[in-house]
Amino acid sequence: MKSNKKTKLIEARGKAFAGRASIKRTEFREFKEDVLKHYIRVHCWMPRIKKLLRARGIKTIRYLSLCASTAFDTRLFRREGLIDFLRDKPKSFVYCESDKKSFDILQDTFKNSSIGFDGKIEEIATSPDNHHYGDFWGTFPIDVINLDFWGDIHKAKDTVKNIFYAIQTIISRQSLLRDPYELWITWRAKPDRIANNIENSYLELIEENRGENQKFAGNFTSAFPDTSSSDLDVEDLVRIGFIKWILYITNKEFSVVDKDNTEVLIYSRKDKDGKTFSMYNFLIRIKPYETIIIPSPACEAARFCNKKYLSNLSLCFIKSRDIDQEYKGISAHEKQGIQDDLVKLSEEYERDISGSLK
């Protein structure tokens, strides 16, 4: 009898492992050849964190990420000692994940000094009736916020509970930090996935600034001579409009975008039909005004931030850093190093998946 029970238990574990392994392989297929993304983690994201640590005089960061189950970014930063998982309070690592299986994997993997929220960040952050709302905002302010959106952010079916309101509220809450922080936002540029109302909102924003702001108008004419706003390529329209909106929100929240520590990355992806499209990664250093006694349009902070806002309008037209070309230009040895490191992180992920069955 005991022998039969033992045999059945082994069979059950085998089936469970096979099922979990199948999930693992399906998920990892999306990541295993993504060396460009890992190049960004190592050569773009990690150096920015180290610069922030030096600027702030701190040793580790508190990190928020939309990292998926693999969490390669968090694994990398943990390995490099940039996130302290031994600290009890406040939590060093915060994540949101709407896929139940991925969320369970993250909970099994990151147990110390971390807190996860199952759901979409835009719904958690903008709905006071969401059961995670209070706990989520209780984790703020945070040092590095990585909003790496896999889906489309330019489909605003809900005019309030959307990603734009979530980002605006995040920047508002972060102003209480009174120290520089990093805000990274990634989205895909697929014209057929951009809603008409979003495209029109960007168009109106650009046209208003061309009419009312001489510096913006001059920058626009230099970048796009003899071109009307409505004739812009949709990708250019959305990119310019998005940066302009970020500048507006930061200024509104008595904060400043650090021009010298802000850049836009562009790299390619292929959809299920094999068609190539662009991904944009906005890497922004934001500096809240340090001391505000009474926030008002007449306060010292408002005047200072507005001057910086006007001088930063040229950021709307900065040239994107082409990661595809940059990666092609590095040596074979460097490429192999990136690939090998990604394999190490993926093997670590696979071990965690296997360990969760025990």
Q: Which residue has the higher pLDDT, 1 or 266?
A: 266
Mean pLDDT for 275-279 is 87
Residue 3 lies in a domain: no
Residue pair 78/344 in contact (Cβ under 8 Å)? The answer is: no
The 3-class SS string of the chain reads CHHHHHHHHHHHHHHHHHHHHHHHHHHHHCCCCCHHHHHHHHHHHHHHHHHHHHHHCCCCECEEECCCCCCHHHHHHHHCCCECCCCCCCCCEEEEECCHHHHHHHHHHCCCCEEEEECCHHHHHHCCCCCCHHHHHCCCCCCEEEEECCCCCCCCCCCCCCHHHHHHHHHHHHHHHCCCEEEEEEEEECHHHCCHHHHHHHHHHHHHHHHHCHHHHHHHHHHCCCCCHHHCCHHHHHHHHHHHHHHHHHHHCCEEECHHHCEEEEEEEECCCCCEEEEEEEEEEEEECCCCCCCCCCCHHHHHHHHHHHHCHHHHHCCCEEHHHHHHCCCHHHHHHHHHHHHHHHHHHHHHHHHCCC
Burial class (CB in 10 A: 0-12, 13-18, 19+), 18: exposed
Q: 30 pLDDT exceeds 50?
A: no
Give the sign of the dihedral formed by CA 198, CA 199, CA 204, CA 205. positive
Mean pLDDT for 107-117 is 94
**pLDDT category of residue 340 using cuts at 50, 70 and 90:** very high
**pLDDT category of residue 29 using cuts at 50, 70 and 90:** very low
Q: 81 pLDDT exceeds 50?
A: yes
Q: Which residue has the higher pLDDT, 191 or 182?
A: 182
Residue 7 lies in a domain: no
Residue 259 lies in a domain: yes
Q: What is the dihedral of CA 217, 289, 154, 268, to 10 degrees?
A: 80
Q: 145 pLDDT exceeds 90?
A: yes
> What pLDDT sits at residue 355?
64
C-alpha–C-alpha distance, residues 142 and 148, integer Å: 16
Q: Which of 18-22, 103-107, 148-152 has the lowest mean pLDDT?
A: 18-22
Residue 16 lies in a domain: no
Residue 133 lies in a domain: yes
> What pLDDT sits at residue 150?
63
List phi, psi (to 5°) of 273. -90, 5
pLDDT digits (tens, 9 = 90+) for 48-73: 999 999 999 999 999 999 999 999 99
**pLDDT category of residue 12 using cuts at 50, 70 and 90:** very low
Q: What pTM, to 2 d.p., does this model score? A: 0.88
> What pLDDT sits at residue 158?
62
**pLDDT category of residue 189 using cuts at 50, 70 and 90:** confident
Q: 16 pLDDT exceeds 90?
A: no
Give the residue among 127, 185, 131, 124 at the shortest CA–CA distance from 154. 185
Mean pLDDT for 19-40 is 59
Residue pair 152/193 in contact (Cβ under 8 Å)? The answer is: yes
Structure tokens that stand for 150 in this block: 């896999």
C-alpha–C-alpha distance, residues 213 and 244, integer Å: 12
C-alpha–C-alpha distance, residues 81 and 339, integer Å: 21
> What pLDDT sits at residue 273?
81
- Euclidean distance between the first and final Cα of the chain, in Å? 24
Burial class (CB in 10 A: 0-12, 13-18, 19+), 243: buried
Residue 228 lies in a domain: yes
Domain that holds residue 289: 33-355
Q: How many domains does the chain have?
A: 1
Residue 1 lies in a domain: no
Q: 194 pLDDT exceeds 60?
A: yes
Q: 335 pLDDT exceeds 60?
A: yes
Q: 101 pLDDT exceeds 80?
A: yes
> What pLDDT sits at residue 191?
74
> What pLDDT sits at residue 17?
38
Interior CA angle at 220 toward 172 and 240, to 5°? 40
72: CB partners within 8 A, 6+ apart: 31, 37, 38, 41, 342, 345, 346, 349
Residue 19 lies in a domain: no
Mean pLDDT for 254-268 is 96
Residue pair 65/77 in contact (Cβ under 8 Å)? The answer is: no
> What pLDDT sits at residue 103?
95
Mean pLDDT for 104-125 is 94
Mean pLDDT for 127-146 is 96
Q: 162 pLDDT exceeds 90?
A: no
Across the chain, mean pLDDT equals 88
**pLDDT category of residue 151 using cuts at 50, 70 and 90:** low
Residue pair 205/284 in contact (Cβ under 8 Å)? The answer is: no
Residue pair 28/346 in contact (Cβ under 8 Å)? The answer is: yes
Q: How much of the chain, in percent, has pLDDT values that exceed 70?
A: 87
> What pLDDT sits at residue 14?
42
**pLDDT category of residue 21 using cuts at 50, 70 and 90:** very low
